[in-house]
Every structure is written in structure tokens, then in C-alpha cells.
Amino acid sequence: AAEKVALKERIKRLLKEREAVLVAHYYVDGDLQDLAEETGGCVSDSLEMARFGRDHPAKTLVVAGVRFMGETAKILSPEKRILMPDLDATCSLDLGCPADEFSAFCDAHPDRTVVVYANTSAAVKARADWMVTSSIGLDIVAHLHAQGKKILWAPDKHLGSYIQKQTGADMLLWQGSCLVHDEFKGIELDLLKAEHPEARVLVHPESPANVVALADVVGSTTQLINAAQTMDATTFIVATDNGILHKMRAAAPGKHFIEAPTAGNSATCKSCAHCPWMAMNGLQNLADVLENFSNEIHVDPQVGKEAVRAIDRMLDFAA
């Protein structure tokens, strides 16, 4: 414990010395989330991470999250130095949508507006008309649908089909999924709900349709935390990465949170719903990158120039 306190103090000192700011996602270790908040950085969902990084005057951003978040920060601010605790922290959605195959898919459907989820590589974003995050994807597709546009959506099939059902848009879906959210189980969730009839169910839309169907609220990480805070209920079942519980408990003290069932968490695995790549962010590697200015994110400038249009469209729409 003393070691941890010393490491945190060292990180605070280094952030000052390096004139750097820490931007963290809700799924990373709670200590990193707290540090981001305490030092004037931010802890949030992917949309707010992007906006905060773009607008903050610091020349160095440390992004505690996964690779696409660091790349998005770099694309939005090519002049800034973007560091990440571990450059191998990726995402199954990003891995499941290689740029060359995606490009061929787009070529085969030139009549469609290409909308990609933030959880993709810079090269995939460069091929897109729009980038969206889970907090705003539904509104943007509804807007495009109202203009009569047909959509090509990638990569998350669950988020895509949820948006498709909600908006009625014509959407052709890439078949990717998040390895964390794909594990939530509808039948088991239904049984858990029966045990806790007073509980409200909060679900991230990367979850399978039969899990989303049982939700009281479907939304991004920030939207789910807000719901926990403001809804008139004291017990919540939460179907998203359990890293979110750190902030939920702090934001809604006295309320009770139960993790939604996954294939394994009933008997064998107490924390199945935790992203292995988000878990690669720790105090030690955060301190190291600040000390050495190592693990810098680079995006090919030409790719960045093409990708920024899709991201800017979303940020302008959200403004």
C-alpha cells in the first residue's frame, strides 16, 4: 500500500513536470481514474475523451485506455504528443475489422454512407464518412436515415442491430463483436432479474440483443453512470465492463450494484466482464511512460488527415 501511494505521488509530480494531462476511460483501474480526476485530467466515455483531448491546451496527453482512443486523440491533435501506458492494448472490434477487408466491403457497396464505430483503426476511420461512439451513434444514424441515406455499418454487429431496430434505417452490418460484452447472457439475466424484481438493468449496447431487450437503460458508459446516479432505484444490474463500478459506486453512494451474468462468472470466474486490454493500464507503466516519454502513438499524417473528417463530423453534430 505504501508503494502504491508513492507511485501515485510520483505520477502526480511527473504530470506537472512534463506538463502532461491524463485522460482515462471508465474501464481502467480505479486508481488511474482517480488520478485523472485529481490532476485536472478527465475520466469519461470515448466521446468525451476525444473532445477533452482535442480541447485541452497541454502539449502531452497520456491516454489510459485502448489503442483506438490514443489514435483518435492523435488524429484530432497531430501536434500533440500522445502517450499510452501500453501500446499493445487493443480491442477485439478493432482487431476484427482489418482495413483492407473493410475497404473492399465499402468498394462493394458504393451507394451506402459509411458509419464506423470509434473502436476501429485510423485506416478504417479514413475510409468512413462518419465516426460515432456509443453515446451518439443512434442519433447520427437517425439523422442520416431521415435524409434517406442507406448505411454501411462497422464493426460491432450488436450495436449496429440495436441502432437498426431503434431507427428503422437500412443498415448493412459488419459482423464484429466485443469479446467482453458478447459474454453477457440473456436467459441468466432474466433469472437474476426475477431474483431482484426491484432492480433496474443498465446495459451497454455492445451486448447481445437478448440482453439489450431486458434493459431499462441502454447507453454509453457515461450515460449508464448518469442513469445510476439519477434513477429512482437503489439496486442496479450492470451489463458492461466491471471497471465502471468504481465510478458508479462513487457517483451513487448507498446504491447497490450487481454484475450481470456472463458465461463464467456464476461459478468459475468472478470478473469475466473485464476487458483484458483495458487491464494493461497500470500505475507502474503510466509512471514509466511519463518518466521516459516512451510509448508514443503515431498515426500516418495522410491517414490522419483522411480520418479526421469522420471524427469532426461527429464532434460538430454533438456540439
Interface contacts to ligand SF4, rule CB under 6 A: 66, 91-93, 119, 178-180, 206, 241, 275, 277-278
Cβ neighbors of 176 (< 8 A, separation 6 or more) are 92, 93, 96, 97, 154, 155, 156, 157
* Phi-psi category of residue 94: left, alpha or beta, with phi > 0 → left and psi -120 to 50 → alpha: alpha
Tell whether residue 25 is among the known ligand binding residues: yes
Instruction: Confirm whether residue 221 is marked as ligand binding.
Output: yes
List the beta strands (DSSP E) in 122-268. Answer: 130-132, 151-154, 171-173, 200-203, 217-218, 235-239, 256-259
272 is in an annotated binding site: no
Q: Which does 174 bind (CB under 5 to 8 A by kind): ligand 13P, ligand SF4, none?
A: none
| Residues whose CB is less than 8 angstroms from the CB of residue 17 and which lie 6 or more positions away in sequence, other chains included | none
Distance CA 270, CA 211 (A): 19
Q: Does 281 bind ligand 13P (CB under 6 A)?
A: no
Chain centroid to CA 216: how far? Answer: 20
Give the integer Cα–Cα distance in Å for 46 and 65: 9
**Residue span 132-171 as binding mask against ligand 13P, x where in contact by CB under 6 A, dash where not:** -xx-------------------------------------
Rounded to a whole number of angstroms, the minimum distance from the CB of residue 270 to ligand 13P is 20
Using the minimum distance from each CB to ligand 13P, give the nearer residue, 77 or 222: 222
Between 58 and 155, whose beta carbon lies closer to ligand SF4? 155
Cell numbers linked to 61: 496527453
In the list 220, 242, 262, 281, the residue contacting ligand 13P (rule: CB under 6 A) is 220
Q: Rounded to the nearest whole angstrom, what is the least distance from the CB of residue 133 to ligand 13P in the complex?
A: 5
Which one of ligand 13P, ligand SF4, none is in contact with 92 (Cβ closer than 5 to 8 A by kind)? ligand SF4
Nearer to ligand SF4, 276 or 301 (CB): 276
Residue number, 48 or 206, with CB nearest to ligand SF4? 206
- Scanning the structure block, which residue is given the C-alpha cell 442520416? 144
Q: Is 134 annotated as a binding residue?
A: yes
Q: How far is the CB of 212 from ligand SF4 (least distance, A)?
A: 15
Closest by alpha carbon to 19, among 83, 90, 99?
83
Which of 72, 119, 167, 262 touches ligand 13P by CB under 6 A? 119
For 187-255, strand residue ranges (E) read 200-203, 217-218, 235-239
Nearest by Cα to 75 from 264, 305, 275, 279: 305
Sign of the torsion formed by the C-alpha atoms of 83, 85, 86 and 89:
negative
Choose among ligand 13P, ligand SF4, none what residue 31 binds, the Cβ cut-off being 5 to 8 Å by kind.
none
Minimal distance, residue 306 CB to ligand SF4, in Å: 23
Residue 220 or 265 with smaller CB distance to ligand 13P = 220
261-280 residues in contact with ligand 13P (CB under 6 A) are none
Instruction: Please state the residue numbers annotated as binding site for [4Fe-4S] cluster.
Output: 91, 178, 275
Task: Please give the residue ranges that form the binding site for ligand 13P (CB under 6 A).
Answer: 45-46, 119, 133-134, 178, 206, 220-221
